[in-house]
Amino acid sequence: MEMVLPVANATAAALARVSAVFNAPLARAVVFGVHIDVMRGSCEFPGHLVVEGLLIAAILFQLSRKSYKPPKKPLTERIDELCDEWQPEPLCPPIKEGARIEAPTLESAAGPHTTVDGKEVVNFASANYLGLIGNEKIIDSCVGSVEKYGVGSCGPRGFYGTIDVHLDCESKIANFLGTQDSILYSYGISTIFSVIPAFCKKGDIIVADEGVHWAVQNGLQLSRSTVVYFKHNDMASLASILEKLTHGNKRTEKIRRYIVVEAIYQNSGQVAPLDEIVRLKEKYRFRVILEESHSFGVLGKSGRGLAEHYGVPIEKIDIITAGMGNALATDGGFCTGSVRVVDHQRLSSSGYVFSASLPPYLASAAISAVNHLEENPAVLANLRSNIALLHKELSDVPGLEIASNILSPIVFLKLKTPTGSAVADLELLEVIAEKVLKEDSVFIAATKRSSLDKCRLPVGIRLFVSAGHTESDISKVSASLKRVAASLLQ
């Protein structure tokens, strides 16, 4: 009996556990979104079979897939084939037939009369405003400079490229214009697009005339400033933009602001109203950058430029630039203004810091040209007389009209009735210029523009008037233009 009792107790305990398992609630599981009820320890509802079936199906699917096979050709051969088939984009777009430039070739000095392709012609295509090309005193100064200094300087101004004649030229220009100091640049067109980014930076505001030429446009782009254009030579448009930019805008008061204009616009021959620009500058607290390549040596009682013409004190213009390849008949350019403005450029203007300095003989030529202008003020009277005469003679050219100012040495002719396409207009004007050259030996030029030039002013024919032209030269170009225009535009 003692042995039976423990066995009976163990059996009763085992039966109690089995009974508890069968009486336990169902466990729930979710497999692939399907609810499965499984009784723990029970085969009454075999839900685990669903899971096992899904796993078996997945294994069979994987086994049935095709195994990876490496390519028959080595990968290096395929890469070589792709490289052979690749055609890179052209380095530059193809030049269209109409865009090809076949400029006439000059075979003598670009004076009022020159030789083009073996034929003597009257030259209205060179900006020799004071007729100084071929001037004996200027030539003698260049010869003496070449004998003393050689041809080039072989170094930037800050690295042993400064020669005493450079300092003399800078001083001469500053004294002539009545400014504190000047700085020379080696290349005329690089002057303005080096000066603008030297002062104007990202975040600054520039308000510029929509008619500025390409060099000014390039300077505006290089500055990375915010550029707003006003209508060409329209002071109401300028005033409206300045008002919008400054009215109630406290942020504008804390950043640098500039107005950029040309004294005489290369793309239209119009003269900027400096007195009104200075008034707006002072009202809205902007700075003015004035480009005077076509007005220096031309406008004003003594040729001192736009400020003298309008009687505006020179110190009211913050920065003045000009190329010396027009009235002075040399090359290079200059910027003039306060000592502070000039000194800033000696370390911050790329065209000055990184370019070899102006060849000494060109600086000597500039000094001689300014001396000639001071000693012979009558040359300005001759120039203005020729401009007025040409305006009178061209006032009735069939199909063409004068768009330039009566004081501008650039006499700009545009079509009275445009075709509606700038390309077609330019082609027509080029035909006129070619016929005038071939049939009457008069050299004029249409305003062909680069694809980089964003100016949207009308194209035209540009005639550069020189003090060296005679009445006979002016009569000849006028008669030729009237005859050719009548045959093509009527």
Q: Which residue has the higher pLDDT, 28 or 113?
A: 113
Query: What's the pLDDT score for residue 489?
Result: 87
Q: How sure is the predictor about 14, in pLDDT bands with cuts at 50, 70 and 90? A: low
Q: Are residues 307 and 165 in the same domain?
A: yes
DSSP labels, 7-42: HHHHHHHHHHHHHHHHHSPPEEEEETTEEEEE-TT-
What are the counts of helices (DSSP H) followed by strands (DSSP E) for the chain? Answer: 17, 16
Rounded Cα distance, 411 and 407, in Å: 9
pTM of the model: 0.81
Query: What's the pLDDT score for residue 254?
Result: 83
Look at residue 191 and tell me whether its pLDDT is greater than 90: yes
**Percent helix / strand / coil, the chain, rounded to 5:** 45, 15, 40
| Tens-place pLDDT, residues 317-359 | 999 999 999 999 999 999 999 999 999 999 999 999 999 999 9
Q: Are residues 401 and 311 in the same domain?
A: no
Q: Please check whether residue 483 is in contact with residue 401, taking contact to mean a CB–CB distance below 8 angstroms.
A: no
Q: Are residues 215 and 266 in the same domain?
A: yes
CATH number, domain with residue 229 = 3.40.640.10
Calculate the average pLDDT of the chain.
88
Q: Are residues 124 and 206 in the same domain?
A: no
Q: Are residues 435 and 355 in the same domain?
A: no
Q: Are residues 117 and 214 in the same domain?
A: no
Rounded Cα distance, 303 and 309, in Å: 8
Query: What's the pLDDT score for residue 201?
Result: 94
Determine the average pLDDT of the residues in 145-171.
Answer: 93
Is residue 439 assigned to a domain? yes
Which is nearest to 321 in space by CA: 303, 340, 295, 350? 295
Determine the average pLDDT of the residues in 449-469.
Answer: 92
Which is nearest to 212 in space by CA: 279, 291, 288? 291
Q: How sure is the predictor about 109, in pLDDT bands with cuts at 50, 70 and 90? A: very high
Query: What's the pLDDT score for residue 403?
Result: 95
Percent of the chain predicted with pLDDT > 90: 71
Helix (H, G, I), strand (E, B) or coil at 197: helix
CATH number, domain with residue 406 = 3.90.1150.10
Tokens of 324: 């010396």
Q: How sure is the predictor about 451, in pLDDT bands with cuts at 50, 70 and 90? A: confident
442-446-449 Cα angle (round to 5): 150
Rounded Cα distance, 448 and 101, in Å: 9
| Tens-place pLDDT, residues 462-478 | 999 999 999 999 999 99
- Cα-based torsion angle of the residue sequence 134, 136, 141, 143 in order, rounded to the nearest 10 degrees: 70
Determine the average pLDDT of the residues in 231-259.
Answer: 91
Tokens of 289: 């950058």
Give the total number of structural domains in the chain. 2
Look at residue 296 and tell me whether its pLDDT is greater than 60: yes
Which is nearest to 230 in space by CA: 247, 254, 249, 208? 208
| Tens-place pLDDT, residues 124-144 | 999 999 999 999 999 999 999
| Tens-place pLDDT, residues 253-288 | 789 999 999 999 999 999 999 999 999 999 999 999
- Tokens 């030259």 found at: 123
Q: How sure is the predictor about 21, in pLDDT bands with cuts at 50, 70 and 90? A: very low
Q: Are residues 345 and 462 in the same domain?
A: no
Own/partner pairs for 412-415, CB < 8 Å, 24+ apart? 412/268, 412/269, 412/447, 412/460, 412/461, 412/462, 412/463, 413/460, 413/461, 413/462, 413/463, 413/481, 414/458, 414/459, 414/460, 414/461, 415/458, 415/460, 415/489
Q: Are residues 201 and 325 in the same domain?
A: yes
Q: Are residues 349 and 469 in the same domain?
A: no
Question: How many CB atoms within 10 Å of residue 19?
Answer: 10
Q: Which residues constitute the domain of residue 350?
A: 136-375
The answer for residues whose C-beta is within 8 angstroms of residue 190's C-beta and 6 or more apart is 215, 333, 351, 355
Query: What's the pLDDT score for residue 39?
Result: 47
Helix (H, G, I), strand (E, B) or coil at 442: strand
| Tens-place pLDDT, residues 36-91 | 554 444 444 566 677 778 888 888 887 777 666 666 656 677 788 888 888 888 88
Helix (H, G, I), strand (E, B) or coil at 181: strand
Which is nearest to 362 in space by CA: 195, 150, 159? 150
Domain boundary residue among 357, 375, 393? 375
Q: Are residues 199 and 282 in the same domain?
A: yes
Look at residue 360 and tell me whether its pLDDT is greater than 60: yes
Query: CB-side exposure of 279: number of CA atoms within 13 Å?
Result: 10
Q: Please check whether residue 122 is in contact with residue 441, taking contact to mean a CB–CB distance below 8 angstroms.
A: yes
| Cα separation of the two ends of the chain | 144
DSSP labels, 229-259: EE-TT-HHHHHHHHHHHHTT-HHHHTS-EEE
Determine the average pLDDT of the residues in 438-450.
Answer: 91
Q: Which residue has the higher pLDDT, 247 or 444?
A: 444
Tokens of 248: 């109630």
